[in-house]
């Protein structure tokens, strides 16, 4: 919890209560816990917050903001169950996953949101958002090119108004002309899905998927380096990732094992024929057929 909450005990108590009430993967528990969020959507509260946040930096020249500050904004509280921040409306993608679609560089993209959130905008006037919806009966961890994103149109929101986003099946996107004219106060549940989806804005067609987990992104980078340097000594640790909860990480581990040792890679592919995720099963079968394994 941020040092800047020192003079806001009620807000600090609210955040502690979220940790007690929210159950990961249970979206209903999130909505049941955030009822008091509206009470903290006031200019005077955030004046106190930033007075504390910036005041500490002015008082102590050696203090650089700690981990609370980053290039996109300020982290109010980072919990295993939720993330609360004041941030820019523009955030970068974390990184692509193994179920990459075609090159979308020339397309106008809408990216889905990974978890439910409540938010509010701080601005001089109304801000326009575009709202999109996915079918509620799909499995978001299985990339399906037949799914289409539905555009529900735009809506104007006044400053300090609470906005509910029922992600991951609903997505809210700030209208481009307004992107640089506000900041966002957002309380979001920790994601229980492995990936976000990218869609063609015009057609609603899915064009790829993006890793949600920072852990998965870091592991991917590590495995890429192990493969590049042919660090065979790490093979045991790589094979241990075949039991990872994220299917993206499991497939990355298979590919790394194949790069380090053919026999171990083939054994990993055969094992993954029984993986619980259909992408891993299908990719393993296709790879075995291709290499004659």
Regions of the chain where pLDDT drops below 50: 91-105
Instruction: Report the predicted TM-score, pTM, of the whole model to 2 decimal places.
Output: 0.76
Q: Which tens digits make up the pLDDT trace of 45-62?
A: 999 988 887 776 666 656
| Cβ partners under 8 Å of residue 104, min gap 6 | 198, 200, 207, 208
Helix axes 214-228, 247-260, angle to 10 degrees: 10
CB 159 within 8 A of CB 121: yes
For residues 136, 200, 91 and 180, what is the CA-based torsion angle, rounded to 10 degrees? -110
Contacts of 285 (CB under 8 A, 6+ apart): 273
Record the tokens describing residue 250, joined without a space: 């499991």
Q: Residue 111: what are its φ and ψ, rounded to 5°?
A: -110, 130
Q: What is the pLDDT of residue 71?
A: 57
Alpha helices in the chain, H assignment, sequence order = 9-21, 27-33, 43-59, 214-228, 235-240, 247-260, 262-271, 278-291
Beta strand ranges found along 166-216 (DSSP E)? 170-174, 183-189, 195-200, 206-211
What's 123's DSSP letter? S
Residue 74 bridge partners (DSSP):
69, 86
Confirm if 192 and 222 have CB atoms less than 8 A apart.
Answer: no
Please tell me the distance from the alpha carbon of residue 147 to that of residue 207, in angstroms, as a whole number. 10
Determine the pLDDT at residue 217: 86
Domains and CATH numbers, the chain: 3-211 (2.60.120), 214-291 (1.25.10)
Q: Which two tokens stand for residue 212?
A: 């949600």
**CA pair distance 113, 205, nearest whole angstrom:** 16
- Work out the number of other CB atoms within 10 angstroms of the CB of residue 173: 18
CB 207 within 8 A of CB 102: yes
- Compute the distance between CA of residue 253 and CA of residue 239 in angstroms, rounded to an integer: 7
pLDDT at position 64 = 54
Q: Report the distance separating Cα 45 and Cα 160, nearest Å.
A: 12
């Amino acid at each position: 919890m941020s040092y800047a909450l020192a003079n806001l005990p009620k807000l600090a108590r609210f955040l502690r209560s979220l940790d007690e009430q929210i159950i990961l993967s249970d979206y209903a528990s999130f909505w049941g816990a955030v009822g008091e969020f509206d009470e903290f959507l006031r200019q005077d509260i955030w004046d106190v917050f930033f007075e504390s946040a910036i005041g500490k930096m002015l008082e102590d020249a050696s203090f650089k903001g700690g981990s609370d500050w980053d290039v996109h904004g300020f982290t109010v509280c980072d919990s295993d169950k939720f993330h609360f921040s004041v941030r820019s409306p523009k955030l970068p993608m974390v990184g692509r996953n193994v179920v990459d679609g075609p090159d979308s560089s020339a397309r106008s993209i809408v990216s889905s949101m990974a978890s439910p959130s409540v938010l509010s905008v701080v601005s001089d006037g109304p801000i326009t958002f575009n709202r999109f919806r996915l079918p509620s009966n799909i499995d978001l961890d299985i990339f399906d090119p037949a799914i289409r994103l539905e555009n529900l149109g735009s809506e104007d929101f006044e400053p300090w108004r609470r906005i509910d986003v029922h992600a991951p099946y609903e997505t809210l996107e700030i209208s481009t002309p307004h992107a640089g004219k506000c900041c966002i106060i957002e309380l979001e549940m920790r994601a229980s899905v492995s990936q976000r989806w990218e869609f063609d804005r015009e057609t609603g067609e899915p064009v790829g998927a993006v890793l949600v987990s920072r852990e998965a992104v870091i592991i991917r980078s590590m495995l890429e380096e192990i493969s590049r340097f042919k660090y065979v000594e790490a093979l045991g640790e790589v094979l241990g990732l075949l039991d990872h909860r994220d299917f993206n990480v499991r497939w990355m581990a298979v590919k790394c094992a194949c790069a380090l040792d053919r026999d171990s890679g083939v054994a990993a592919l055969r094992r993954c024929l029984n993986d619980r995720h259909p992408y891993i099963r299908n990719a393993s079968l296709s790879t075995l057929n291709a290499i004659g394994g």
